[in-house]
Amino acid sequence: MALARAAMSLNKPLSPQEEGRIFETEIAEEFALQENPASGAVWYSKLDLRGYSTRWWLRLTKKRFFRLTQDNIDEAVRACYGPGGDGSLPIWAIRVGEEKYDLIFMRKNDFKLLIEDEIDMRYVVSDKNEKKKRRAALPILMREEEND
C-alpha cells in the first residue's frame, strides 16, 4: 500500500507491475497469506502467495475480460502437485477491469474437500493479535514461516 500512496502523492500513474504488486499485497493482507519473494522469477518460489494449505496464482488486467488458459491452470497444479510441490490447493485469483472485480477460482474437487471439512482451512482473521494467538496455538512444527 505504501507504493500506491507514494505514486498517488506524486500524481504519477502506476505501472501495470506496480498495480499487480498492490493487488498481490491486498489479497495477502485480506486473507492473511504470505507473499512469495521473487515469485515466478526463480524455480523454488512457486506461485504468488501461500498459506492455509493453499498456493495462489494471481493476475490483474485493466481489460474487461481475462482468458484463463489450460496452461495457467497447469502451471498452478504443477506448482502444488508436481516435483517439489507441497500438496497445497491451487487457487486462481484475477482482478478484472477498471471496476476491480476480484474473482477467485478453484477446482471443483478441491472445493468439495473444503466444504466437507477434509482440508483444514481456518477462517482468516484480520486482527493482528488474534492471528498471533492462533499461530501460537499451533505446534511449532506445523507453523508456516512468517515474513513479519
Residues 6+ positions from 51 with CB-CB distance below 8 Å:
31, 32, 33, 34, 144
Q: What pLDDT, on the 0 to 100 scale, is given for residue 83?
A: 87
- Distant-in-sequence, close-in-space partners of 68: CB < 8 Å, separation ≥ 6: 92, 94, 105
pLDDT for 114: 81
Q: Do the Cβ atoms of 138 and 25 come closer than 8 Å? A: no
Residue-wise pLDDT for 21-67, tens only, equals 999 999 999 999 999 876 665 555 679 999 988 999 999 998 988 99
8 Å CB contact between 56 and 50 = yes
Position 80 pLDDT exceeds 80: yes
Of 91, 63, 60, 62, which Cα lies nearest the Cα of 75?
Answer: 91
pTM, 2 dp: 0.70
At residue 4 the predicted structure's pLDDT band, cuts being 50, 70 and 90, is low
Q: Cβ distance 14 to 7 under 8 Å?
A: yes
Return the HEC string of the chain. CHHHHHHHHCCCCCCHHHHHHHHHHHHHHHCCCEECCCCCCCCCCCCCEEECCEEEEEEEECCCCCCCCHHHHHHHHHHHHCCCCCCCEEEEEEEECCCCEEEEECCHHHHHHHHCCCCCCCCCCCCHHHHHHHHHHCCHHHCCCCCC
| pLDDT the model gives residue 5 | 54
Domains of the chain: 2-142 (3.40.1350)
Q: Give the model confidence (pLDDT) of 106-139 as tens digits.
A: 999 989 888 887 666 654 444 566 566 666 766 6
Read off the pLDDT band of 93 (50, 70, 90): very high
